[in-house]
Amino acid sequence: MTKSSQTPARVRFAPSPTGYLHLGGLRTALFDWLYARHTGGQFILRIEDTDQKRYNPESLQDLMEGLRWLGLHWDEGPDIGGPHAPYIQSQRQPIYQQYANWLVEHGKAYRCYTTEEELEELRARGLPYDRRHRNLTPEQRAAFEAEGRPFVIRFAAPLTGTTTVHDAIRGEITVENATIVDPVLLKSDGLPTYHLAVVVDDHLMEITHVLRGEEWIPSAPLHVLLFEAFGWSAPVFVHLPVILDPSGKGKMSKRKTVVDGREFSPFVRDYIRGGYLPDAMFNFLATMGWSFDPEREIFTREEAIERFDVADISPKATALPFSKLEWMNGVYIRQMDVVALKDAVAPFVAADLGLDVETLRRDPRLLALTPLIQERIKLLTEATALVDWAFLPAEKITYPDPTQLIGKKLTAAQSIEALEAARELIATVEPFEAAALEAAFRSRAEAMDIKLGSFLTPVRVAVTGKTVSPPLFESIHILGREETLKRLANAIQALTAYAATAVERP
């Protein structure tokens, strides 16, 4: 397959604001953006909102937030304008009416006065529209007009011959013109259908390449015919492969589904909220139908821009390997600068703990804890469970199961002794740093003739309220001497009460 032209490309992402942005749409936008950046061209955001019945007022904001989250900033669009504004189709209605009427005037389209009842009768009989008003006489048209009967404008598709669509990754797609049954271009309310609006806008906005899902292949011959009817050159068509759900058994649903016992969401907003990094999602989606290098899974945006070409997109459907996304997210987390990671986890931790996010970002404890958890999390949402104990007052660290305070192969009494010894060490060790604390605890465990792990288990649970935590001595240093002593005292009290109750049992 030959490489596509490297002249600057003008591409557009043209979503319909009828629902939330999903991964398939985001992949299309990503490929658009990559090709624009690769060729030094422009990436345009256009909102195709002619389907007013299904319009969702929250959708546009969700779409734009999802694109910005991934870093796909557009060069022209509804919020920033551009030489071809407006970029919202409902605001371009006079333009479509002008071009629809031009087609009528030049014999390429016609006014159809067929009523909805008449169309319903055809559908009930299993018949397509029969072109009944394609060749009305002037008298017949005048009669309909005198009745005040509403009309639509239909395209007068060729009755014979074939039309060929040249697809950059699929080759030539040819259909019989007779199968294209005069589709509606302009509805009776004056709004265009998708077919008219997309062709007019792609021409006026000077779009050179149209990247869209393969579900639009059946419409492509009609669009080619419309370009020809206007006397315009068609853009290069690139119909992207379907993304299958993680099971690989069907097209990715636009609803949340359960795959292999795990809930899978197709919506981008759920990944933003779920603790995924935009760089990981960028890397992941770029591999859905395009290969950077068979030997490399991880690559930067700059590397992707340098190599991306629409000619290298595969037309084959690909399953969404959900586990790979989590793995990639972990890789990117481990590669992050500590300050950047701290800032990234802060909103999640703050929301979980009811804290002010900006105050938390400035808290030195979060910065100190971040490198301790960096190797342990795959999602930003996992940070809270590892660091929450550091931002809770001592009285909030409770021990619903006091037996967790008992070290391995130790009795409750021996564990209390270990906690008392730990309290003494915390109160006296100088300097109060991780290395000095570790040396002191090792020495005391040896003196008490107990294994270090058994000694540290009660201390870990006392300090964090958890059996698993970031490295203990670093955690104690971050928490501070005074707060650690409070928690040890509370744990001693809780375990003593438990031990007394246990002795009283028959």
409 in catalytic set: no
Tokens of 14: 């043209």
Which residues lie below 8 Å from residue 443, measured CB to CB, with a gap of 6+? none
The DSSP letter of residue 433 is: S
Tokens of 236: 């290069």
Sort residue 231 into left (φ over 0), alpha (ψ -120 to 50) or beta.
Answer: left
Q: Which of these is catalytic: 108, 187, 254, 378?
A: 254
SS3 assignment, position 425: helix
| Helix, strand, coil percentages, rounded to 5, for the chain | 50, 10, 35
Q: Are 36 and 42 in contact (CB under 8 A)?
A: yes
Tokens of 497: 């009460």
Q: Are 165 and 173 in contact (CB under 8 A)?
A: yes
State how far the Cα of 259 lies from the Cα of 287, in Å rounded to an integer.
Answer: 21
**CB-count exposure of residue 468 (10 Å: 0-12, 13-18, 19+):** exposed
User: Closest Cα to residue 100, out of 230, 232, 235, 234?
Assistant: 230
Tokens of 91: 């605001």
* C-beta neighbour count of 36 within 10 angstroms: 26
* C-beta neighbour count of 290 within 10 angstroms: 22
State how far the Cα of 14 lies from the Cα of 254, in Å rounded to an integer.
Answer: 18
State how far the Cα of 342 lies from the Cα of 363, in Å rounded to an integer.
Answer: 10
User: Closest Cα to residue 293, out of 304, 284, 277?
Assistant: 304
Our measurement of the distance from residue 487's CA atom to the centroid of its chain's CA atoms, rounded to an integer in Å, reads: 41
SS3 assignment, position 290: coil
Prior bond of 86 cis (ω within 30°): yes
State how far the Cα of 143 lies from the Cα of 135, in Å rounded to an integer.
Answer: 14
SS3 assignment, position 167: strand
DSSP calls for 334-370? HHS-HHHHHHHHHHHHHHHHT--HHHHHH-HHHHHHH
- Which one-letter amino acid corresponds to residue 455? F
> How many residues comprise the chain?
506
**Which residues are catalytic, by number?**
254
